[in-house]
């Protein structure tokens, strides 16, 4: 059955949703044409929509669900916590346990929770400005750090347009070319930057990994210029022990976190960790006047439910890291190998990018190494056709324009084969579209 015939209830929900929600979807990124399915149940690697259709999920709560959906130890802890209160409104023991495991995970000296990845970045940028006394910020073209005005620029191609209707182009934010150190230095010119913020794997551009030399070069540049280096590890933080900073062996001054750090599912998933001499600008016991501190706060910050879910998730990762990373990385390597083979045999122009358990497929005429090269020759029609084709094969991911995927500990070889062989079948049948 095709999508429209088997998603009648989702269609009805979408029509109803449009009466109240602009665009019919809580978050525009989850919308796709002709209308999105609405999910009612998740477990492991699978999701089910309200019509009962099953999909293997490669989106996994915006790439956060490293253990898959409804991982039992986390669910059990959360159910117990609900009986004591989700948000206690006071300091609680879980924020302390959470802080300890997060600091250990990232080898960080101090940490503060935040309510989301967006908030984490907002506070981290504030900290960098307060610490350095400078106000300009460098960010990578194609990098998404959340809907926070001061970082919301050069996210979607073309990068010279304002990122949103409400945003004037701010001179304080300098878009920089990912994986191009000379280009970065040239763009910065004589400007003095408070910080450079970078994802070790460029997420929304389709999982394009940094070259190690690029991150090392940024580190050296920042040390030379008294500029803070911030790694946005909102997606990547738990894809490797110590985060991708551990994988690359490059230490930022501050790390921002989200998603998995709040236990994969729960609101309030975020945090900033890093050097004690910077984080001390958030210490109300040492800096008693509010004007001596950098901004941070939020009603839900450090709520017991999120802290406990995050603590249990990270503790489980500590306990099971060998088997978890061996599993997700080898499934992903299999996928990357097979996809490269399928592309080669199909004679399509396409590239696979990624690192560890994050990988992306790009219908481009050049190998994407940054936002610009991922976008300027992209065949969007082909990307969207693949998306529709795979939905009918029971495979779901986002976005239709930028196919990128992650796998969880709950994914099986056959889940991944469904994705890979689905793409292979598409490439065989779609022959001719962009050749």
List interacting residues with ligand PLP (CB under 6 A): 62, 116-118, 121, 144-146, 199, 203, 232, 234-235, 258
Least spacing, CB of residue 146 vs ligand PLP, in Å: 3
**Burial (CB count within 10 angstroms: exposed 0-12, middle 13-18, buried 19+), residue 89:** exposed
Torsion angle of C-alpha atoms 332, 336, 338, 344, degrees rounded to 10: 170
Q: Which is nearer to ligand PLP, 261 or 382 (CB)?
A: 261
CB 117 within 8 A of CB 270: yes
Q: Which is nearer to ligand PLP, 385 or 398 (CB)?
A: 398
Q: Which candidate, 385, 422, 110, places its Cα nearest to that of 275?
A: 110
Least spacing, CB of residue 142 vs ligand PLP, in Å: 11
Token pair belonging to 376: 């300027």
Q: Which is nearer to ligand PLP, 125 or 420 (CB)?
A: 125
Q: Which candidate, 368, 384, 71, 43, places its Cα nearest to that of 203?
A: 368
Residue 64 in 3-state DSSP?
coil
Q: Which is nearer to ligand PLP, 36 or 422 (CB)?
A: 36
Q: Which is nearer to ligand PLP, 234 or 407 (CB)?
A: 234
Q: Which is nearer to ligand PLP, 13 or 250 (CB)?
A: 250
Least spacing, CB of residue 240 vs ligand PLP, in Å: 15
Q: What residue is closest to ligand PLP based on CB?
A: 117
Torsion angle of C-alpha atoms 19, 25, 31, 35, degrees rounded to 10: -40
Q: What are the Cα distances from residue 158, in Å, to 21, 206, 223? A: 28, 16, 31
Q: What angle do CA 427, 28, 354 make, to 5 degrees?
A: 45
C-alpha count within 13 angstroms, C-beta hemisphere, residue 16: 7
Strands 270-274 and 254-258: antiparallel
Q: Which candidate, 237, 178, 205, 266, places its Cα nearest to that of 357?
A: 237
Least spacing, CB of residue 114 vs ligand PLP, in Å: 9
Q: Which is nearer to ligand PLP, 235 or 335 (CB)?
A: 235
Least spacing, CB of residue 46 vs ligand PLP, in Å: 22
398 Cβ neighbours under 8 A, 6+ residues apart: 29, 30, 32, 59
Least spacing, CB of residue 199 vs ligand PLP, in Å: 5
Indicate left, alpha or beta for 226 from its phi (over 0: left) and psi (-120 to 50: alpha): left
Least spacing, CB of residue 95 vs ligand PLP, in Å: 18
Q: Which is nearer to ligand PLP, 3 or 159 (CB)?
A: 159
Supply the DSSP symbol for 423: H
Least spacing, CB of residue 14 vs ligand PLP, in Å: 23
82 Cβ neighbours under 8 A, 6+ residues apart: 305
Least spacing, CB of residue 310 vs ligand PLP, in Å: 13
Q: Which is nearer to ligand PLP, 137 or 342 (CB)?
A: 137
432 Cβ neighbours under 8 A, 6+ residues apart: none
């Amino acid at each position: 059955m095709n999508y429209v015939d088997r998603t009648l209830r989702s269609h009805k929900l979408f029509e109803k949703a449009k009466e109240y929600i602009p665009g019919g979807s809580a978050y525009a990124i989850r919308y796709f044409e002709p209308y999105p399915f609405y999910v009612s149940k998740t477990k492991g690697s699978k999701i089910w929509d309200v019509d009962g259709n099953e999909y293997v999920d490669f989106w996994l709560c915006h790439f956060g669900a490293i253990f898959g959906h409804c991982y039992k130890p986390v669910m059990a802890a959360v159910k117990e916590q609900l009986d004591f209160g989700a948000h206690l409104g006071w300091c609680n023991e879980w924020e302390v346990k959470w802080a300890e495991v997060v600091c250990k995970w990232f080898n960080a000296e101090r940490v503060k929770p935040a309510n989301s990845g967006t908030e984490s970045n907002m506070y981290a940028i504030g900290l960098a400005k307060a610490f350095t006394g400078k106000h300009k910020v460098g960010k990578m073209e194609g990098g998404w750090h959340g809907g926070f005005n001061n970082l919301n620029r050069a996210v979607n191609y073309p990068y010279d347009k304002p990122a949103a209707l409400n945003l004037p182009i701010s001179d304080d934010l300098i878009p920089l070319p990912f994986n191009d150190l000379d280009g970065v230095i040239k763009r910065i010119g004589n400007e003095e930057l408070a910080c450079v913020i970078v994802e070790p794997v460029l997420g929304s551009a389709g999982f394009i990994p940094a070259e190690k030399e690029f991150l090392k070069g940024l580190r050296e540049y920042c040390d030379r210029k008294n500029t803070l280096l911030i790694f946005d590890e909102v997606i990547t933080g738990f894809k490797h022990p110590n985060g991708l900073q551990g994988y690359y062996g490059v230490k930022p001054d501050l790390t921002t976190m989200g998603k998995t750090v709040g236990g994969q599912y729960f609101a309030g998933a975020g945090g900033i960790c890093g050097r004690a001499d910077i984080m001390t600008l958030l210490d109300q016991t040492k800096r008693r006047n509010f004007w001596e501190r950098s901004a941070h706060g939020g009603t839900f910050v450090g709520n017991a439910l999120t802290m406990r879910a995050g603590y249990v998730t990270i503790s489980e990762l500590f306990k099971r890291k060998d088997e978890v990373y061996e599993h997700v990385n080898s499934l992903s390597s299999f996928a990357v190998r097979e996809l490269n083979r399928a592309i080669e045999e199909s004679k399509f122009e396409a590239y696979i990018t990624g690192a560890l358990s994050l990988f992306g497929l790009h219908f481009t005429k050049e190998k994407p190494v940054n936002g610009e090269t991922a976008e300027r020759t992209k065949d969007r029609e082909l990307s969207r056709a693949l998306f529709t084709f795979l939905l009918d094969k029971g495979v779901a991911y986002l976005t239709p324009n930028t196919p990128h995927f992650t796998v969880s500990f709950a994914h099986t070889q056959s889940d991944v084969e469904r994705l890979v062989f689905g793409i292979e079948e598409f490439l065989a049948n779609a022959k001719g579209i962009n050749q």
